Amino acid sequence: MRGLMQDWPLLIHKAIDYAALQFGSREVVTRSVEGPIVRTTYGAIRGRALKGAQRLVRDGVKPGDRVATLAWNTWRHLEAWYAITGAGGVYHTVNPRLFPDQIVWIVNHAEDRVLMADLTFVPLLEKIADRLPTVERYVILTDAAHMPATGLRGAVDYESWIASADGDFRWVEVDERDAAGLCYTSGTTGDPKGVLYSHRSNLLHSLGCNTPDGLAIAARDAVLPVVPLFHANSWSLAFTCPMVGAKLVLPGSKLDGASLHELFETEEVTFTAGVPTVWIGLLAHMRSRGARFSTLKRLFVGGSAFPASLIAAFETEFGLSVSHAWGMTEMSPIGTFGAMKPAFASLSGEALWARKALQGYAPFGVDIKIVGDDGKPMPWDGAAFGRLLVAGFAVTKGYFKGAGGDVLDADGFFDTGDVATIDPDGYVRITDRSKDVIKSGGEWISSIDVENAAVGCPGVVEAAVIGVAHPKWTERPLLIVVPDKAKPPTREAVLDHLRPRIAKWWLPDDVQFVDEIPHTATGKISKLTLRERFKDYRLPG
Ligand code: AMP
């Protein structure tokens, strides 16, 4: 017998409909690409998104068509998402930090029909447009006054484009399982692969993550997502905030410590989320200016590991509560939260920060397991390293157009490509990407553990560990350090700092100092580039 409850569809436009009705005057504030701070409301955003959807339909966009966005976090980008999905289309977020050739590749693979871009990216698009045959129209996310003269096909400024619609429109009807968003993984090897979110997966992900031990965002919060709309769905914050009526503060293109701190203060931000490199920049700014946070309380970090020493710095010097999250594009993206289970509620000091430096435990809706090379589950003992596999309502079951073939195991789990331990309390510790694991004498060394420990050494700004070929041990770890120019540490000081903190045989065989560590388009340390750079390096002795 079937239940008799309504099949209320989990559609993205429901989030903005709700916000407009219940929180119509709640503000969305942007540091615009043009410069000034722009203030709008959820009510106005819904009205303009309806016009955008109407225009897309008039321009011939059909359900399932892809519309690309190449844009910073702004209110127009947010409206574009709701307009695209409200027209039945699929928002395809393009990461502007990719190389032009990669952008060409993914726009062609996605067969985007319309491309909406910030002013910032017009020169880039002009260089590549003749290689983007599927794009029929470029909508530049600005107004007529700022619109540059451009030969881009069908180019129109966003404000004039939506002004030609009256907004007398109903969202196009789609099924909750229909595609809503498309985001390509950075693909360090091989071609990028498209992750295709559905309306249902996006809304369930938002609901599943906004629990008291998860993001815990409430109507009274003012949220500044540094995590971009163009990468990993901005952690669903573009849906979660309207779904609860939180104020949104969007930083545009300025993500340096000073610009962010100014917005935190002027807009009374209470919650923020970003990747470690952004927080390292903010910390340096705060320290150098002796600055304080008046309203900011919670800082979420993910995308790469965040060492205990940095968590401690934000908590003790600046009074924030830092939460670690782990996830990936294929998981919409959140997979674990570093909340404290009751057994750890009274932890403080070093013990607390050490636990917070773990990636955390999976919330409801995310099933996890670690497996050995034979695919068999490994114990949750905090020691056994295994490949981390996941399943859930917001986890991918295959890539766009079948790229990569069948990606699930016999039980429907997706291989994250990460290597991890899980402790008896369910806390995950990501030790490496599987392709970055260092195998020494048949055992695995966790590069992330060594990096985290190294960053705690005075004078170390950033650290990366790679494996270097060794005649006896197969590979040995090499530590690469960006020193603080004002007080650079010596090689011995770094190794002495590490000795009591990691297993003896994990101690790097050498330390190399560099001016800068390369990062990928998504802000992660690029081990591939480092391995390339150090390919001729020979370990001492
Ligand atoms: P992306 O899909 O670009 O967001 O990259 C996902 C990958 O980033 C994961 O598979 C991890 O390797 C890494 N990652 C994300 N969050 C964390 C974290 N908190 N700690 C360590 N690695 C992380």
| 397-431 core/surface letters (b: 16 or more CB in 10 A; e: else) | ebbbeebbeebeeeeebbbbbbbbbbeeeebbbbb
Domain end position, chosen among 254, 273, 294:
254
Alpha carbon distance 162, 390 (integer Å): 41
Alpha carbon distance 45, 20 (integer Å): 8
Domain that holds residue 24: 13-254
The answer to whether position 45 is within a domain reads yes
Question: Active-site residue 397, yes or no?
Answer: no
* 8 Å CB contact between 493 and 274: no
φ, ψ of residue 526 in degrees (nearest 5): -90, 95
Query: pLDDT of 35-75, one tens digit each?
Result: 999 999 999 999 999 999 999 999 999 999 999 999 999 99
Nearest atom within ligand 1 for CA of residue 330: 2
Place of tokens 């498209």: 194
- pLDDT band per the 50, 70, 90 thresholds, residue 187: low
Q: Whose CA is closest to atom 5 on ligand 1?
A: 328
Q: What is the DSSP string of 354-383?
A: HHHTS-BBPPTTEEEEEE-TTS-B---SSS
Q: How many domains does the chain have?
A: 2
Tell me: pLDDT of 77 over 70: yes
Question: Active-site residue 439, yes or no?
Answer: yes
Question: Active-site residue 505, yes or no?
Answer: no
* 8 Å CB contact between 358 and 427: yes
* 8 Å CB contact between 111 and 90: no
Side-chain-side CA neighbours of 286 within 13 Å: the count stands at: 20
The answer to whether position 267 is within a domain reads no
- pLDDT band per the 50, 70, 90 thresholds, residue 189: low
Question: What is the domain-level CATH number for residue 175?
Answer: 3.40.50.12780
- pLDDT band per the 50, 70, 90 thresholds, residue 188: low
Alpha carbon distance 189, 195 (integer Å): 16
Mean confidence (pLDDT) of the chain? 96
- pLDDT band per the 50, 70, 90 thresholds, residue 434: confident
The answer to whether position 63 is within a domain reads yes
- Tell me the one-letter amino acid at 355: R
φ, ψ of residue 221 in degrees (nearest 5): -75, 150
Q: Tell me if 328 CB under 6 Å of ligand 1.
A: yes
Q: Tell me if 274 CB under 6 Å of ligand 1.
A: no
Fill in the DSSP letter of residue 111: T
- The radius of gyration computed from the CA coordinates of the chain, to the nearest angstrom, equals 23
The answer to whether position 144 is within a domain reads yes
Alpha carbon distance 366, 363 (integer Å): 6
Beta strand pairing call for 90-93 and 114-117: unpaired
Domain end position, chosen among 224, 254, 284:
254
CA end-to-end span of the chain, whole Å?
74
* 292-295 CB contacts, 8 Å cutoff, 24+ apart: 292/318, 293/261, 293/264, 293/265, 293/318, 293/319, 293/320, 294/265, 294/268, 295/222, 295/264, 295/265, 295/268, 295/269, 295/270
Going by C-alpha positions, the residue among 307, 338, 329 that lies closest to residue 216 is: 338
The answer for residues whose C-beta is within 8 angstroms of residue 149's C-beta and 6 or more apart is: none
Query: pLDDT of 90-126, one tens digit each?
Result: 999 999 999 999 999 999 999 999 999 999 999 999 9
Ligand 1 centre and the CA of 187: distance in Å? 13
Tell me: pLDDT of 523 over 90: no
Q: Which residues pair with 440 in a beta bridge?
A: 443, 474
Ligand 1 centre and the CA of 326: distance in Å? 6
Ligand 1 centre and the CA of 295: distance in Å? 28
Question: What is the domain-level CATH number for residue 528?
Answer: 3.30.300.30
The answer to whether position 296 is within a domain reads no
The answer to whether position 94 is within a domain reads yes
Query: pLDDT of 239-262, one tens digit each?
Result: 999 999 999 999 999 999 999 999
Neighbours of 105 (CB within 10 A): 17
Residue-level pLDDT at 178: 98
Query: pLDDT of 206-235, one tens digit each?
Result: 999 999 999 999 999 999 999 999 998 899
Nearest atom within ligand 1 for CA of residue 416: 10
Q: What average pLDDT score do residues 132-151 get?
A: 98
- Which member of 439, 443, 505, 532 is catalytic? 439
Fill in the DSSP letter of residue 316: I
The answer to whether position 211 is within a domain reads yes
- pLDDT band per the 50, 70, 90 thresholds, residue 137: very high
Residue-level pLDDT at 177: 98
The answer to whether position 247 is within a domain reads yes
Question: Active-site residue 270, yes or no?
Answer: no
**Of 9-13, 171-175, 218-222, 473-477, which gets the smallest average pLDDT?**
473-477
Sign of CA dihedral 144, 140, 124, 251: positive
Domain end position, chosen among 219, 239, 254:
254
Q: Which residues pair with 511 in a beta bridge?
A: 479
Q: Which residue has the higher pLDDT, 523 or 508?
A: 508
